[in-house]
Amino acid sequence: MKFDTPATTNPIDQMKVVGHPADRVDGPRKVTGTATYAYEQHEAAPNAVYGYVIGAAIAKGTIEAIDTRAASRAPGVLAVISADNAGKLDKGEFYAARALAGPDVDHYHQAVAIVVAQTFEQARSAAQLVRVHYQRGNGVFDLAAAKDGAPPPKPGPYSPPAETSVGDFEGAFARAAVKLDAHFTTPDQSHAMMEPHATIAVWKGKKLTLWTSVQQVNWGVRDLAKTLGIAKEDVRIVTPYIGGGFGGKGTILSDAVLAAVAARKVRRPVKVTLQRALMFNNVTHRPATIQRVRIGASRDGKIDAIGHESWSGNIEGGRPEAATAATRLLYAGPHRMTRLRLAHLDLPEGSAMRAPGEAPGMMALEIAMDEMAEKLGHDPVAFRILNDTQVDPEDPKRPFSTRQLVKCLETGAKQFGWSERNARPGSRRDGRWLVGIGMASAIRGAPVTKSAARVRLDHRGIVTVETDMTDIGTGSYTIIAQTAAEMMGVGIDKVRVSLGDSHFPESAGSGGQWGAASSTAGVYAACVKLREAVAKQLELDPATAEFAGGLVRAGNRSVPLTHAARWRDLVGEDVMEYGDLAKRYAIQTFGAHFVEVGVDAATGEIRVRRMLAVCSAGRIINPKTARSQVIGGMTMGIGAALMEELVVDKRVGFFVNHDLAGYEVPVHADVPHLDAIFLDETDPTIAPLKAKGVGELGISGVAAAIANAVYNATGVRVREYPVTLDKLLGGLPPVA
């Protein structure tokens, strides 16, 4: 099915199930522990053995020798596998190609070997007996030192252009009456998801099945087949439940590759999980950035020139952090420029993490907008509204599919009590606390991608949906069930959803904020096919048939849905595609974040007191799960603003704080009152449900809103994240 703007007769507009805050259909399984993750699929391989991964002790160099003799003789050990005996692995330009070092070491804790034993404890013990001899090389680990002369990145499918230019930015900036030229830094950050990277691998002849934790099943099949040099048809990936990913499980990583290699070697099912202390350096992370934002405006506040440059670093073949993405679309201005530069660093690979591009880019842009508003003497909210645009600023012929940024800003300001904010920094106190209020706009791309599904109706009236879409904690099971229930005219209790199996029709997968709109569109398309089959079986006109309350009505006839499948199951399968939709419309979600903080006047301790997000993201399929996604993003924004930082040892090249004791993330005590408001909106251009994604909008802009609130509280402007008390102490006002 190819999608175009639907008429109001679109059956999804019945809105009997879609749009309602349904409980998660997988909730009972989650809270009872029966929604098992990859490593817990014990019935899949009851005779599995265990692999323990050994990470490189250097960040750059070569492996001269690996002494495995003592480990091989240890109790229970079946094999010690390294590049010497693993078999040929493809060395393409993607993460899986670097799953096993040898002879070259590309980064610290890159896997150099895996020990396979009868029990996990035996494998772990034997791993301590492996002796690896290295020749240390010279690596580059400091982005600030490597940025000068860094080239533009190569074009990539998920990156913006390395450079964009509209008008005469340099000339307009030089002529501007009011100017800002500021530099910002964001650190390396870790996904730190709940479930570690884990896999069970089973070979049957030339067929390989993985129970693994991966967000994009189709990418995982593609990359594993290429890495192992086998046909895609011989790879099956099963991943029904995922304990968080945030982009870090986009495709297969070292656990999957090494489990597959080990299982082939020992001819037994093998279970591999990456120990938490290994994950921080072994797998991907959000890369650090150095950013320069320049804004020039007339004295009345109209932006005339806006420029954004960003430097990030990555390993050979890695992609840049696309921090200029939001600046290209968020505000008007006739003279514009963005530049990305990518330095070579010998650190672990930098890749997608929740709202890649927008999240770190807006950490700079939205502070710059606040600073510019202050220079102009404008209210920060009013300044943003003044510079709104309803068309793509780089391509005025391309309108936004929908854009309610102004309404988000106005609604948030009213609900949060923005009018009570004192614009003079450091002027409001509550006992020992300096109190400040800050805000930021939010934008995040909302693409839709090709997605397929299969829907089955049986004689009991049960509708079963099958698609390889994944649920990383976002609520995919529930919104897919709601879509099928709406389309087939049954209650959500009559729908069964099966996800995360590459034997099912190929979906969009989870990532890029495209999952909700794309996967439900595929289910919609399959349900249209099933409705046609039902109408035909019941000898009704499919063009006029109505499905509601478990009945199918057409003309004067009303027939129970179950009658259509009395003799055999009926099946509908289809795929939703979009043609050149993205070229005709700028498809984005918008929002506004408002934050109140308290800063201890003596110690500089920062406490977030309350937060509000106002979101415009098309039809909200399930307000309950959507709210959960947004407040989750807001919580991650607290971490990005105040605590999260992978500290690089620039002498030897690794992330020092590679565990959850040293890498701090927000906990319950750090999270204040959070609220989220969704504007009433449908986007008729984007998909049959007129919905968009929302999970990454929740983090975009949050860190800057917090930093702006800290400035309002203290008068100290911090442009280097995270905003920690040591960066405030020297500038705090005298203690009263």
* pLDDT tens per residue across span 685-696: 988 999 999 999
Report CA dihedral (631, 636, 640, 643) to the nearest 10 degrees. 110
Over residues 49-71, the pLDDT tens digits come to: 999 999 999 999 999 999 999 99
Over residues 86-141, the pLDDT tens digits come to: 999 987 666 677 899 999 999 999 999 999 999 999 999 999 999 999 999 999 99
Q: Are residues 415 and 491 in the same domain?
A: no
Report CA dihedral (86, 89, 94, 95) to the nearest 10 degrees. 0
Over residues 4-19, the pLDDT tens digits come to: 544 446 666 668 999 9
- The whole-angstrom separation of Cα 86 and Cα 468 is 30
Q: 577, 603, 618: which is the final residue of a domain?
A: 577
Count H helices and E strands in the chain, helices first: 16, 31
When divided into structural domains, the chain yields a total of 3
Active site residues: 696
Kindly indicate the confidence band of residue 583, based on its pLDDT and cuts at 50, 70 and 90.
Answer: very high
Q: Cis (ω within 30 of 0) for the bond into 399? A: no
Q: Which among 264, 129, 267, 245 has a CA at the least distance from the CA of 198?
A: 245
Alpha-carbon Rg for the chain, nearest whole angstrom, is 27
CB of 252 closer than 8 Å to CB of 214: yes
Angle at 706 between CA 703 and CA 709, to 5 degrees: 150
Structural domain includes residue 343: no
Residues whose CB is less than 8 angstroms from the CB of residue 385 and which lie 6 or more positions away in sequence, other chains included: 406, 409, 410
Residues whose CB is less than 8 angstroms from the CB of residue 378 and which lie 6 or more positions away in sequence, other chains included: 301, 386
Can you give the residue range of the structural domain that contains 78?
38-138+237-278
Q: Are residues 628 and 599 in the same domain?
A: yes
pTM above 0.85, yes or no: yes
Over residues 353-368, the pLDDT tens digits come to: 999 999 999 999 999 9
CATH number, domain with residue 43: 3.90.1170.50
Mean pLDDT of 181-210: 98
Residue 280's pLDDT is 98
Structural domain includes residue 439: yes
Q: Are residues 601 and 723 in the same domain?
A: yes
CATH number, domain with residue 522: 3.30.365.10
Structural domain includes residue 318: no
Structural domain includes residue 532: yes
Q: Could you give phi then psi for residue 587, rounded to 5 degrees?
A: -105, 110
Q: Are residues 654 and 560 in the same domain?
A: no
Q: 246, 278, 310: which is the final residue of a domain?
A: 278
Element holding 346 (H helix, E strand): none
Angle at 712 between CA 710 and CA 714, to 5 degrees: 65
The helix-helix angle for 217-228 and 254-266 (nearest 10°) equals: 50
Q: Find residue 188's DSSP bridge partners.
A: 646
Residues whose CB is less than 8 angstroms from the CB of residue 241 and which lie 6 or more positions away in sequence, other chains included: 26, 30, 35, 36, 37, 471, 500
CB of 68 closer than 8 Å to CB of 112: no
Q: Are residues 470 and 594 in the same domain?
A: no
Q: What share of the chain is helix, strand, coil (3-state, %, to 5)?
A: 30, 30, 45
Give the count of beta carbons closer than 10 Å to the beta carbon of residue 1.
16
Structural domain includes residue 617: yes
Q: Which among 444, 212, 246 has a CA at the least distance from the CA of 352?
A: 246
Q: 517, 547, 577: which is the final residue of a domain?
A: 577
Residues whose CB is less than 8 angstroms from the CB of residue 531 and which lie 6 or more positions away in sequence, other chains included: 11, 487, 488, 542, 545, 547, 572
Of 365 and 543, more confident = 365
Q: Are residues 595 and 702 in the same domain?
A: yes
- The whole-angstrom separation of Cα 214 and Cα 10 is 34
Over residues 438-490, the pLDDT tens digits come to: 999 999 999 999 999 999 999 999 999 999 999 999 999 999 999 999 999 99
Q: Are residues 605 and 644 in the same domain?
A: yes
Candidate from 7-16, 26-35, 329-338, 656-665 with smallest mean pLDDT: 7-16
Q: Are residues 421 and 491 in the same domain?
A: no
- Output the six-digit token pair for 576: 């939703």
Q: Which residue has tokens 């349904």?
A: 22
Q: Are residues 608 and 712 in the same domain?
A: yes
Q: Are residues 134 and 253 in the same domain?
A: yes
Structural domain includes residue 358: no
Residue 735's pLDDT is 77
Q: Is the pLDDT of residue 294 over 70?
A: yes
Q: Are residues 511 and 413 in the same domain?
A: no
β-bridge pairing 235-238 and 207-212: parallel
Structural domain includes residue 376: no
- The whole-angstrom separation of Cα 644 and Cα 244 is 17
Mean pLDDT of 268-293: 97
Q: Are residues 608 and 529 in the same domain?
A: no
Kindly indicate the confidence band of residue 44, based on its pLDDT and cuts at 50, 70 and 90.
Answer: confident
CB of 457 closer than 8 Å to CB of 567: no
How would you write 296-328 as a 3-class SS string? EECCCCCEEEEEEEEEEEECCCCCCCCCCCCCC
- The whole-angstrom separation of Cα 200 and Cα 238 is 10
Structural domain includes residue 647: yes
